[in-house]
Chains A and B, each alone.
Chain A
Amino acid sequence: MFGWEFPPHNSGGLGVACQGLTRAMAARGIEIVFVMPKKIDVAAPWARFVFADSGVEARAVNSSLKPYVTGNGYARALHDAAIYGVSLLQEVRRYALLGGQIAQEERFDVIYAHDWLSFGAGVEAKRVSGKPLIVHVHATEFDRCGGPMGINEEVYEIEKEGMRAADRIIAVSQFTKDLIMREYGVPESKIKVVHNGIDELGESQGPNRLRLAALKASGYSIVLFLGRVTLQKGPDYFLRAARSVLEREPRTVFFMSGSGDMERQIMDMAAQFGISDRVLFTGFLRGHDRTEVYKAADLFVMPSVSEPFGITALEAMKSGTPVLLSKQSGAAEAVKHALKVDFWDVDEMTNKIAAVLRHKGLRQTLSEHGKHEASRLTWEDAAGKVENVLQETLLAGVQ
């Protein structure tokens, strides 16, 4: 299995998904060799932590690839770092070759690659070994760029080639399946939708509790954005709604939890709207801090422009927090006990945020039903569906 990040060394939902899925697959007796494009010194402690007891073996290769970077962003970062001569494509090729090398060394039945950075490795492993390839699409270039504008052609080609070479494609939502069919010209029959699941959340403790409790005790409500502060995640829509909500519900604080290339722009916007004192930037949160902020929030908002799934939505629901989800997300199709809105409809977003802040009955109902619903979306179910796809793929290979 080719991936690129794994908790606790993750910067987003992909690592969480890889962890949840591989653990549940291992529990079903599937043996997994997990390959990651991370420097060995970074990855070494990870192998000890995560799957020491569960039958998953970790491997890491040298690479400077980072998740969530768009193609152009990657080139820029490389330029800034003055790593002369290393292009994105060269880097992916290098990972692909290493993937091929590992494929020669390891014994396995199926190759499984998560998202575009590992597709090359998957395709190469298939070429070398002749074993079937499954690609799992958690996000596409269209999602990362928030639409067709500004997509990187090279990345698009890598994604397209991975999907073409794959025997089967797993999409994290119908939303993503539709996008794959539309933008990558893949026939419907090749794609299977497997919604993400959610693990048990860590218990909350630590210093945040007191601070947030004090804030709430003084009569403030908390509305939470948690995700990368990038175009894809719609932080600007969230901020516009915040301004409008504050005109009606002034005792509200909006948390921006996450980091990203739009952070500066969002801070400037908050200042320009005159609501800087009500928009708090927490930076990227993990572990207890993250659990705590979910629990403290009166509402979690996921205003994504294009969100293949959005595991954070399930995390918030599982914490008993009401959620408002962009209709342009996979999570919105997977759950019913959530408020839903088109990401661009700032007025409707305002309407729904204000309603949650005002009406206790609404909060309670969303919280109770949402928590129950999220707890039924398990990685065990997802792994079961993935196993079916594995078996179908192997059977097709035999025939």
Chain B
Amino acid sequence: MKSVCFYFQVHQPYRVKNYRVFDIGNDAEYFNDRGESNLNNRKIIEKVAQKSYIPATKLLIDLLNRHPEMRVSFSFSGVALEQLELYAPEVIALFKQLIDTGRVEVLGETYYHSLAFFYSPSEFERQVAKHRDKIRKFFGVWPRVFRNTELSYRNDLGQWADKNGYVGVLAEGWDPVLGWRSPNYVYRPKGSQNAKLLLKNYRLSDDVAFRFSSRDWSEWPLTAEKFAQWLGVAEGDVVNLFMDYETFGEHQWEDTGIFSFLEKLPEELAKNEGIDFKTPSEVITSYDARDEIDMPNTVTWADTDRDLTAWTGNPMQRSAIDAIYALEDKIMLANDRKLLEDWRKLQTSDHFYYMCTKWFSDGDVHAYFSPYESPYDAHIAYMNALQDLKLRLEKAK
């Protein structure tokens, strides 16, 4: 038997508006852009809900009803759920319906989709706990498998998950780490007693997430039939297809045929003998770990480097992320709910990603999505907001 394991990521940050030097000390609302730009969080949420979340979730509910063997998994950032609750509550209702089928697993992550694991273990734990509570309150389930922001992983994350009772962790199946080994097996994190490691098959995942509508690609157009055949002949125990949920309808627009691709996939897969759907927990129960994976350095699912340089690669990113975590002690002492929330919303990884200059010179607009005119503008808005936060913090004492 071989399994296909889908995991979809749902995340939307609170984008910082063009917060200017004049606003410092005068405006404590950093995320309330109401203009026409892509800094307007409400506008973005409404748009993504219409184009992606609503049609994709309706389709999945329908598919789960029609195909009793079907399974998928999701991870929702807390900040995405908060904003959906506010601006597109219909999506939350659909997610509940989806999870109520009992065949959709919900994974654990940090509430604020942050990189806290690498900067503050205590804050990381608090954000994971807050996320767990939210998931339980919203969907009545308890995450048993963990995935860290941007699929970032290294040995100590596996060990942390193991100690904290998770049965598994998700990570990138990156060739330099795997060597001759295939991502299509279950592994054991180095130093872990029980927890297992599931590795993304990035080639097959990216065929859908990135290449689906690319006419330069020799396999275009990708049909459900063709993709099901590829999955059928893939070696190993499990093919882990991990991708952003926005793949359906937002990254790949409806007119690319992405929805009909998804719709036909279960029936096409059923034509293959000995292949089924499993959630991450089911995969972990069904298959033994084949080997131990040693990842002393952080690996992520980002770009061609698969490291954290998209978030911390240049001096302005590092100074911004250092500056936000440097406030932790004072924020905790201040004991002010709004301050704490704003501080945490500013930890979301996207803020630092928007400051990335890696391929900015090459004019590769597709490599990075950013609502700002430039990484420098992103940094300026962020640092201005941070300066205001510091002022508020001083006043709160």
Contact = CB atoms under 8 A, between A and B. Distances in A.
Interface of A: 248, 336-337, 339-340, 347-348, 350-352, 354-355, 358-362, 364-366, 368-369, 372-373
B319 A360 contact: yes
Interface centre among B375, B376, B379 (most CB of A within 10 A): B376
Interface centre among A248, A354, A355, A373 (most CB of B within 10 A): A355
B380 A352 contact: yes
A373 B360 CA distance: 11
A92 B360 CA distance: 46
A372 B360 CA distance: 13
A355 to B, nearest CB: 4
Nearest to B313: A365
Interface in B164-208: none
Given A336-B360, A347-B20, A355-B21, A362 B380 contact: yes
Contacts of B22: 347, 350-351
Contacts of B41: none
Interface string B339-379: 00000000000000000010011010000000001111101
Contacts of A340: 373-374
Contacts of A339: 374, 376-377, 380
Nearest to B314: A365
B373 A351 contact: no
B357 A348 contact: no
A362 B320 CA distance: 9
Interface in B300-320: 314-320
B387 to A, nearest CB: 8
A359 B357 contact: no
B374 A368 contact: no
Interface string B375-395: 111011001100100000000
17 contacts: A337-B357, A339-B376, A339-B380, A340-B374, A348-B20, A350-B21, A351-B20, A355-B21, A359-B319, A361-B314, A361-B319, A361-B379, A364-B315, A365-B357, A365-B375, A369-B360, A372-B361
Contacts of A362: 315-316, 319, 376, 379-380, 383
A361 B376 contact: no
Given A348-B20, A350-B21, 17 more contacts: A248-B21, A339-B380, A351-B21, A351-B380, A354-B21, A358-B383, A358-B387, A359-B316, A359-B379, A359-B383, A360-B319, A361-B314, A361-B318, A361-B320, A365-B357, A369-B357, A369-B361
Contacts of B320: 361
Given A337-B357, A350-B21, A365 B384 contact: no
Contact of B315 (A348, A352, A365): A365
Interface residues of B, number: 24
A366 B315 CA distance: 9
Looking at chain A's contact residues, is the secondary structure mostly helix, strand, loop, or mixed?
A: helix
A352 B317 CA distance: 17
Contact of A366 (B376, B383, B387): B376
Given A354-B21, A355-B384, A361 B374 contact: no
Contacts of B20: 347-348, 351
Contacts of B21: 248, 350-351, 354-355
A365 B373 CA distance: 16
Interface of B: 20-22, 314-320, 357, 360-361, 363, 373-377, 379-380, 383-384, 387
The 4 closest A-B pairs by CB, nearest first: A361-B319, A361-B316, A364-B315, A355-B380
A163 B387 CA distance: 52
Nearest to A350: B21
Nearest to A354: B21
Nearest to A366: B376
A360 B380 contact: no
A34 to B, nearest CB: 34
Nearest to A335: B361
Nearest to B387: A358
A350 B21 CA distance: 8
A349 B278 CA distance: 55
A148 B360 CA distance: 35
A365 B319 CA distance: 11
Contacts of A359: 316, 319, 379-380, 383
Contacts of A336: 360-361, 363, 374
A245 to B, nearest CB: 9
Contacts of B318: 361
B17 to A, nearest CB: 13
Nearest to B377: A339
A364 to B, nearest CB: 4
Nearest to A348: B20
A368 B313 CA distance: 13
Interface centre among A248, A359, A360, A373 (most CB of B within 10 A): A359
B345 to A, nearest CB: 20
Contacts of A248: 21
Contacts of B319: 359-362
Nearest to A339: B376
B343 to A, nearest CB: 18
Nearest to A362: B316
Nearest to A372: B361
A121 B21 CA distance: 52
A347 B19 CA distance: 12
Contacts of B380: 339, 351-352, 355, 359, 362
A370 to B, nearest CB: 10
A361 B315 contact: yes
Contacts of A354: 21
A265 B237 CA distance: 78
A207 to B, nearest CB: 32
A233 to B, nearest CB: 23
A372 B373 CA distance: 21
A365 B355 CA distance: 10
Contacts of B314: 361, 365, 368-369
A364 B317 CA distance: 11
A352 B319 CA distance: 17
A337 B361 CA distance: 7
A373 B315 contact: no
B213 to A, nearest CB: 27
A368 B315 CA distance: 10
Contacts of B315: 360-362, 364-365, 368
Nearest to B20: A351
A3 to B, nearest CB: 32
B370 to A, nearest CB: 13
Contacts of A358: 383, 387
A364 B316 contact: yes
A316 to B, nearest CB: 15
